[in-house]
Amino acid sequence: MHERVRNIFIVTILAMAHTCLHGVTPFFYPRSQSVDAARDLVGWTHLINLYDMDRVYGVIGITPEYTRSFKSCDIAQTLFGVDLVGAGQGSCNTCDDINRCGFLKITGSLVPNRGCSDWLADYFGLPTDYQSIISFEPHITNLLVDLSFYVGLDEWVDGLYLRFHAPIVHTRWNLNFCETVIDHGSNAYLPGYFNESTTGVDRAQLTNSATDFLCGCATPNLGDLVTFESLKNARLFRRTRNKTTLSEIQGAFGWNFAQCDDYHVGLMLRGAAATGNRPKGDFFFEPIVGNGHHWELGLGLTSHYTFWRSKNNQQSCGLYIDCNLTHLFSARQRRSFDLKNRPNSRYTLASMLGAPVNNLFANALPGDVSGSVAPLAQFQNVFTTVANLTTFDVESRIAAQVDFVALFNYTHCGWGWDMGYNFWTRSCEKLRYTCSCPAPLDGNRTWALKGDSYVYGFAASTIDPITQNQPIPLSATQDTSTIHRGTNNFVGPSPLDGGIDGIQPTRNPGVDNAKYARFLSDSTAGASINDLVTGLQTKTSQEPVFIANSDIDLFSARTKGLSHKFFTHISYAWGPAWCEWIPYIGAGAKVEFAKHTNPCDLSCDSCICQQSAISEWGIWLKGGVSFN
């Protein structure tokens, strides 16, 4: 018995260590397409924040831009953690054998030598000998048109101004996932594993591929009595998903309190009206335009210093620095979540349990014994994926977002060249349940993790009104099961307990609070509930462990972001500065490098808040007209 306890302890410690390596984000939350201080500043530095203007002046701008993400494997590892493994590899505790991008391996519970990072195919209604790999190359493409407007109000107060911009965005998100089936599998499921049938579930009744299930397209046919619900939330999409809408309407009201021909320093009050889309949770890696529908308010600093001018005033060099700090107020979002300490568990399988409990009792001893007790609940013939239970409305709030840009400008006559650096970061968001929506599972304790447990047993004999081999739903749950495996098999590859420490071999040895199942509470001979194939008495949970609201992992689902951008822009403005109308045009390019969560980080900082940003390159045109 001590050896069994030791094995459980070791597995628990390994699972905790593996969790630290398994930082994932159920929701990918990049930088808003509206937040780009570099794009806001380039091309019109000599047309805004003018000195000694005694009248209203302004600039109208339009900026079409195209961006494309790169470092796809960084995104994939942020989404799936070290469950992404290299060909033939499956390291439990290190990242040494994980290649740059990797793939998910899907294997059934009876595949020999399953890797510890394999996802369990049983959860998707696939055969126990099914094998496949799913590869990913996610990318995000944005095509936007940023409409901007600046107006100087020097006619009323020197240095006073208003500015607005509103990007219209078309975004395209694609996981680019592809499943390669190694073995479609031929195994049928034994009686009691999924349903009440004494013949089990034939291969023809099961799903054909993991892709079919994860897209919400197919489920196994378990007969007329048992329902296997399709995946409705956090679905994977095989093609590109698009979204087109106004990102945000951003505005600033500022005053340059110190200024002359060669410098200015000013402060502004900034805000953003939420016009982008909210997450819905229907799909995993769903397209987002804007900042997740947050309203924003904050402050900004703007400044420049022209440190050189030519004698004829036709050339100049200057340094421009802008910094914006905003707070993102609470926004209601619909998100999917994992369970605590079980990354990717939203794709595990849950069974419905309920009362009244009929013909089911549990006893610590096998055989014909008295004193058996009925559990609180038993299987109610419904399976569903955990994501269908853990997708609900939450409130997301972000304390601070910083967008800093430092720009060098060289001007020669009407030509201008800008180059610079942009730093962006967003603090870790805070998530909480919405006040208007009750906690999704509290007060409705009817769902539990199935793992690889058998949910039906069969009467050992006929005792009126029960007939021999009559199916009886159990109360078996596996609260510590993961996306990788159930707990019946954690001591070995066999679905049966092999008599460890002298314990009688039985079905369901690894279920929660395992007790021997009976259909009568007294010592009547032959009243045990058995496994139909082996004839051995099966175990059930006394008591079952339910999924509660406290099990949902809002904490590890939080995201933050950080990126470094380098950019350049060339522009030309027609006409002398005293012209009433001055058209301008320019073109620019950027490359942005995002910080990503490192799944190999043994410090486990990634378990606290996930990095959610994209590395991307982009090109744009910027043109318009100034007036005074």
pLDDT tens-digit readout, 192-219 = 999 999 999 999 999 999 999 999 999 9
Per-residue model confidence (pLDDT) at position 2: 42
The pLDDT, as a whole number, for residue 7 is 40
Residue 580 — very low, low, confident or very high, per pLDDT cuts 50/70/90?
confident
Which position has the higher pLDDT, 7 or 194? 194
Q: Is the pLDDT of residue 97 over 90?
A: no
Q: Which of 520, 557, 296, 311 is nearest to 403 (CA)?
A: 296
Per residue in 211-244, pLDDT tens?
999 999 999 999 999 999 999 999 999 889 999 9
Q: What number is the average pLDDT over the span 254-275? A: 96
Give the pLDDT of residue 101: 65
- Of the listed ranges 28-37, 78-87, 203-212, the least confidently predicted one is 78-87
Q: Residue 82: which pLDDT band, with cuts at 50, 70 and 90?
A: confident
Q: What is the mean pLDDT of residues 150-176?
A: 96
Q: Cα(519)–Cα(375) distance, rounded to whole angstroms?
A: 12
How does pLDDT run across 319-335, given as a tens digit for each residue?
A: 999 999 999 999 999 99
Please tell me which residue, 16 or 337, carries the higher pLDDT value: 337
Question: Is the per-residue pLDDT at 576 higher than 60?
Answer: yes
Q: What is the pTM of this model?
A: 0.89
Q: Are 103 and 135 in contact (CB under 8 A)?
A: yes
pLDDT digits (tens, 9 = 90+) for 337-349: 999 999 999 999 9
Confidence of residue 5 (pLDDT cuts 50, 70, 90): very low
3-state DSSP of 132-196: EEEECCCEEEEEEEEEEEEEEECCCCCCEEEEEEEEEEEEEEECCCEEEEEECCCCCECCCCCCC
Other C-beta atoms within 10 Å of 371: how many? 11
Picking from 263, 256, 258, 264, the residue whose alpha carbon sits closest to that of residue 309 is 263
| Cα separation values, 242 from 174, 277, 281, 344, 596, Å | 9, 12, 15, 24, 24
Residue 521 has pLDDT above 60, yes or no: yes
Predicted pLDDT of residue 599: 54
Cis peptide upstream of residue 543 (ω within 30 degrees of 0): yes
Query: What CA–CA distance (Å, rounded) separates 76 from 91?
Result: 18
Confidence class for position 8, pLDDT limits 50, 70, 90: very low
pLDDT at 77 over 60: yes
% of the chain surpassing 90 pLDDT = 77
Q: Edge-to-edge, what's the strand order for the sheet holding 378-385?
A: 227-228, 378-385, 349-354, 447-449
Q: What is the DSSP string of 386-400?
A: GGGTSEEEEEEEEEE
Residue 505's pLDDT band, with cuts at 50, 70 and 90, is: low
Alpha-carbon span 214 to 600, nearest angstrom: 27
The pLDDT tens digits for 378-391 are: 999 999 999 999 99
Lowest mean pLDDT, pick from 49-53, 142-146, 478-482: 49-53
Q: Tell me the CATH class for 2-70+138-177+236-337+390-441+556-627.
A: mainly beta
Average pLDDT over residues 454-473: 96
CA distance 14 to 7: 11
Dist. CA 555–CA 7, nearest whole Å: 29
Report the chain's mean pLDDT, rounded to a whole number: 89
Please name the residue that has the structure tokens 């421009």: 320
List 540's β-bridge partners, or say none: 515
Q: Is the pLDDT of residue 492 over 90?
A: no
Higher pLDDT, residue 189 or 18: 189
Mean pLDDT, range 503-511, rounded to an integer: 76
- 603-615: pLDDT as tens digits: 444 457 989 999 9
The domain ranges of the chain are 2-70+138-177+236-337+390-441+556-627
Cβ neighbors of 438 (< 8 A, separation 6 or more) are none
pLDDT value of residue 506: 79
Q: Does the structure show a pLDDT above 80 at 1?
A: no
Confidence of residue 495 (pLDDT cuts 50, 70, 90): very low
